[in-house]
């Protein structure tokens, strides 16, 4: 497992750097801060970086019997476990605050929807998967300069929504990317026929409640693996130090 981890980390880092190269970020580093919303590439870079550091420390530490690297692996993994535990407790205690932050996060990314193709794909996937539109409803798309309903907006997408908000017709094999045009100009009753009117925040809450057992099982499984890794590293350190002490 420790041998696989650094290579997976390198793969994630490679995908992230490749994505940035395709978007021209590597040739203009200052553009990293230009995007108003969240760049999904950061997920690959952060996850890849953490996996590489953990995998490298655990792998080399075990192969070379290096107690410093093994202790680093154990402490680093322990810090990650503690942060996950703290985040879980805080999320449970401050549920309303988390909901407000999620609302702010989604709306901030709605504003930047057309600014980055990766962010656009992420929002489209989220809205299609949870069958939602906007943070708390389709009108949240008024925050985007291309979709708002103001008279000064000359965009063809004015008073519309992205195609990912549209209800799907099983008979259609080709996605109609213009299905959301003028959708919010219709009465609310008619809107429900062509687009999803529920927001992504309440839909996420519903999904979480419906899949609570699975989500809890995944988190418990990850936590047990982390605890197992910490114990294994500490046990190996004790064995190496015991052997050295007997010399």
How far are the Cα atoms of 44, 145, 153 from residue 110, in angstroms, in the given order?
A: 21, 10, 16
Residue 103 has pLDDT above 90, yes or no: no
Residue 37 has pLDDT above 70, yes or no: no
More confident residue, 99 or 196: 196
Rounded to an integer, the average pLDDT of 135-163 is 93
Residue 64 has pLDDT above 60, yes or no: yes
- What does the radius of gyration of the chain's CA atoms come to, in whole angstroms? 23
SS (H, E, C) 136-192: CCHHHHHHCCCCCCCCCCCCCCCCCCCHHHECCCCCCCCCCCCCCCCHHHCCHHHHH
Rounded to an integer, the average pLDDT of 64-68 is 90
Place of tokens 């962010």: 119
Residue 19 has pLDDT above 70, yes or no: yes
Rounded to an integer, the average pLDDT of 183-205 is 91
More confident residue, 28 or 48: 48
Residue 3 has pLDDT above 50, yes or no: no
How far are the Cα atoms of 107, 142, 144, 164, 192 from residue 197, in angstroms, in the given order?
A: 16, 14, 17, 12, 6
pTM of the model: 0.75
pLDDT of residue 15: 80
- The string of pLDDT tens digits covering residues 167-185 is 987 777 788 889 999 999 9
Neighbours of 149 (CB within 10 A): 14
Cα of 75 vs its chain's centroid, Å = 25
- What is the pLDDT confidence band of residue 13, given thresholds at 50, 70 and 90? confident
Report the C-alpha gap between 16 and 41 in whole angstroms: 5
Place of tokens 């809107």: 191
Report the C-alpha gap between 19 and 25 in whole angstroms: 9
pLDDT of residue 23: 62
C-beta separation of 36 from 108 below 8 A:
yes
> To the nearest whole percent, how much of the chain has pLDDT over 90?
41
pLDDT of residue 210: 92
- What is the pLDDT confidence band of residue 1, given thresholds at 50, 70 and 90? very low
């Amino acid at each position: 497992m420790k041998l696989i981890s650094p290579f997976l980390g390198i793969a994630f880092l490679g995908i992230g750097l490749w994505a940035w190269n395709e978007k021209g970020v590597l040739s203009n580093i200052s553009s990293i801060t230009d995007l108003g919303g969240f760049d999904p590439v950061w997920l690959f870079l952060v996850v890849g970086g953490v996996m590489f550091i953990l995998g490298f420390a655990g792998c080399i530490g075990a192969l070379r019997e290096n107690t410093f690297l093994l202790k680093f692996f154990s402490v680093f993994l322990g810090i990650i476990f503690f942060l996950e535990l703290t985040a879980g407790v805080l999320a449970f205690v401050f549920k309303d605050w988390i909901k407000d932050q999620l609302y702010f996060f989604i709306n901030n990314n709605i504003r930047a929807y057309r600014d980055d193709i990766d962010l656009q794909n992420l929002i489209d996937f989220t809205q299609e998967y949870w069958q939602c539109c906007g943070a708390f409803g389709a009108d949240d798309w008024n925050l985007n300069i291309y979709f708002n309903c103001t008279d000064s907006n000359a965009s063809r997408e004015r008073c519309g929504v992205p195609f990912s908000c549209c209800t799907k017709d099983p008979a259609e094999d080709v996605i109609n990317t213009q299905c959301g045009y003028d959708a919010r100009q219709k009465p609310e009753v008619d809107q429900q026929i062509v687009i999803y009117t529920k927001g992504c925040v309440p839909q996420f809450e519903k999904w979480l409640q419906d899949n609570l057992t699975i989500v809890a099982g995944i988190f418990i499984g990850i936590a047990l693996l982390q605890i197992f890794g910490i114990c294994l590293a500490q046990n190996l350190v004790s064995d190496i130090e015991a052997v050295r002490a007997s010399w």
